[in-house]
Chains A and B, each alone.
Chain A
Amino acid sequence: EAGVAQSPRYKIIEKRQSVAFWCNPISGHATLYWYQQILGQGPKLLIQFQNNGVVDDSQLPKDRFSAERLKGVDSTLKIQPAKLEDSAVYLCASSLGTAGEQFFGPGTRLTVL
């Protein structure tokens, strides 16, 4: 069974530029999560989807971050414009349902200069 796929693996941009990350969850997984992991910290949930609906986006900085999960499968996370403090690893995870085990992708390491 294929795992959670993410791309790109690495991205370097300058502040005020925009960037987008892509996630393909495990087939059949209804719940999809985006996390931000700053170096030396645990992951912080940005947004949780159930199929193509948003369950929780309370910690998503909506002035600059947006996410969508069209058709309830793939998802994209966008940052526009980026700030220096957005430098982090962005993790995507999926699970069968909200109470199920979360499976993580390898992450995208973003560096904002």
Chain B
Amino acid sequence: GNSVTQMEGPVTLSEEAFLTINCTYTATGYPSLFWYVQYPGEGLQLLLKATKADDKGSNKGFEATYRKETTSFHLEKGSVQVSDSAVYFCALSGGSNYQLIWGAGTKLIIKP
């Protein structure tokens, strides 16, 4: 069945460091891929998405490229800020009901 695996956290970085959070998936067909973010005390928010191979999703300085050959959708940001501290979830959408299949989440801590 479909599944998503993302790197375990917490990931701790200093402000202005480069960020990569790895995400790989297993799926039949051609799923859409998503990154959601959950800030402390808030609900999940869609950060970015990609709907087909080689698409790049981007938002708020974050980017992720849909790599079909490596079944990956790694999240990157060139220079992180303290305000980026949150939990990041990778997810895929597939099947007839387009249901989301989620990774376990990666907690990101940015220190000033």
Contacts from A to B (Cβ < 8 Å): 3-4, 40-45, 48, 55-56, 91, 93, 98-99, 101-107
Contacts and interface: CB of A to CB of B under 8 A. Distances in A.
A89 to B, nearest CB: 10
Contact of B102 (A3, A42, A56, A105): A42
Q: Please report whether the interface of chain B is mostly helix, strand, loop or mixed according to DSSP.
A: strand
B45 A45 contact: no
Interface of B: 4, 41-46, 49, 89, 91, 93, 97-100, 102-105
Nearest 9 pairs between A and B by C-beta? A42-B102, A104-B43, A104-B44, A106-B43, A99-B98, A98-B98, A42-B104, A43-B102, A41-B104
B64 to A, nearest CB: 16
Contact of A98 (B44, B97, B102, B104): B97
Contact of A56 (B93, B99, B104): B99
Contact of A40 (B46, B49, B105): B105
B108 to A, nearest CB: 15
B42 A106 contact: yes
A56 B91 contact: no
Contacts of B41: 106
A105 B99 contact: no
Nearest to B107: A40
Contacts of B93: 99
B100 A45 contact: yes
Contacts of B42: 106
Nearest to B93: A99
A75 B9 CA distance: 34
Nearest to B99: A45
B97 A55 contact: yes
Contact of B97 (A42, A44, A56, A93): A56
A42 B45 contact: no
Nearest to B105: A42
Contacts of A103: 46
A42 B43 CA distance: 13
A26 B67 CA distance: 33
